[in-house]
Amino acid sequence: MRSAALTIIAFAILLGACTKDTTTANHRLPTFTFKTDSGYTFANDTVGLQDTLKVGVVIDRMDDALRAFEMKVAYDGSLAQTMKDSVGVGTDHFTRDEHLIMRNLAGKEKWTFLVLLANGNTVTRSLTFVVQ
């Protein structure tokens, strides 16, 4: 009997300690798009060996401040390598153009662009190119 009473008390304490996080339901991530103007690459594609592609990103803050921008590339399904060190953002609107040079080797290149938010989370967008 005493054991059942202690179990009920412990359950009541644990239940009272739980709270629902209502901030995540309305939490807005930044908008993160590729530039689609003439001359920009903004979609997955098949490209030639050593092609140079111009890619532009546009990132706009929503709920969390933008802290840093970084680019990574993974070759043929390998782990991603950092291609550009983090660049501090510090504004609510960030835009950047990059020229990506494809390898002189046929295969697949997955380029990932990421922004680090003030809360420690990241938002990413990727483009995959078949190089031949």
Domain regions of the chain by residue span? 28-131
What backbone torsions phi and psi does residue 15 show, to the nearest 5 degrees? Answer: -65, -40
Dihedral Cα 121, 122, 123, 126, nearest 10 deg? -150
Model confidence over 41-88: pLDDT tens digits? 999 999 999 999 999 999 999 999 999 999 999 999 898 888 877 888
Structure tokens at 74: 């993974």
Count of CB atoms situated within 10 Å of the CB of 45 = 13
pTM of the predicted model over 0.75? yes
Model confidence over 20-49: pLDDT tens digits? 433 456 788 999 999 999 999 999 999 999
Structure tokens at 15: 């239940």
Q: Does the domain formed by 28-131 have CATH 2.60.40.10?
A: yes
Is pLDDT of 118 > 50? yes
Is pLDDT of 9 > 60? no
